[in-house]
């Protein structure tokens, strides 16, 4: 119930108001009002482009070979060859909005609105790529993959504008009438 087989039959069309009695209730379940004169919410503002600057230090560690007898090469076992050391490099990167289509790894920072979130380390960070774990303002399962990391500074914003119409200095080409008959009907 309701019985979907009645939906297309003339006597079962849904009315404008769910309070209207009739057989339509055998085929339709009221979900709300679609009357444009009955709005319960004001229209929302147009989206704004973030105009601030929000950066973070993205650090990566790489294992590299080193001379075992060098003072900056860890060699706890006294090996003559085959030593490695971990080298860390950091660079400033912009905090981009979260996107369900990007691949995130440990340490990546995203923003939702002005709020910043950092992807957690292994194994928790594996969930950062799952859209169900998208960081958000309300507490939820996203905190199993992401940690709140502060707030980006607010900056000047601008409303998106449509691209300006193309202006071309070329005038449209005109053709003189043909003296031969057309091949098309």
Instruction: Give per-residue pLDDT as tens, 132-167.
Output: 999 986 788 999 999 999 999 876 544 444 555 545
96-97, strands of its sheet edge to edge: 96-97, 109-112, 115-119, 146-151
Element holding 111 (H helix, E strand) = strand 109-112
Is residue 10 over pLDDT 70?
yes
**Token pair of 144, please?**
């199993």
* pLDDT for position 60: 84
Task: Work out the angle at residue 110's Cα, subtended by the Cα atoms of residues 108 and 113, and round it to the nearest 5 degrees.
Answer: 170
């Amino acid at each position: 119930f309701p019985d979907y087989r009645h939906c297309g039959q003339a006597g079962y069309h849904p009315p404008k108001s769910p309070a209207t009695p009739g057989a339509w209730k055998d085929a339709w379940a009221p979900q709300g009002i679609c009357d444009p004169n009955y709005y319960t919410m004001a229209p929302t503002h147009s989206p704004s482009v973030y105009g601030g600057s929000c950066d973070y230090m993205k650090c990566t560690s790489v294992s590299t070979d080193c001379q075992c007898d060098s003072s900056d090469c860890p060699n706890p076992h006294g090996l003559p060859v085959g030593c490695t050391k971990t080298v860390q490099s950091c660079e400033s990167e912009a905090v981009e909005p979260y996107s369900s289509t990007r691949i995130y790894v440990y340490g990546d920072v995203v923003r939702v609105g002005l709020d910043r979130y950092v992807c957690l380390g292994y194994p928790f960070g594996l969930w950062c790529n799952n859209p169900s774990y998208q960081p958000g303002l309300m507490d939820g399962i996203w905190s199993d993959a992401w940690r709140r990391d502060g707030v980006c500074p607010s900056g000047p914003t601008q409303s998106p504008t449509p691209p300006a119409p193309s202006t071309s200095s070329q005038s449209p080409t005109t053709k003189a009438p043909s003296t031969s008959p057309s091949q098309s009907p």
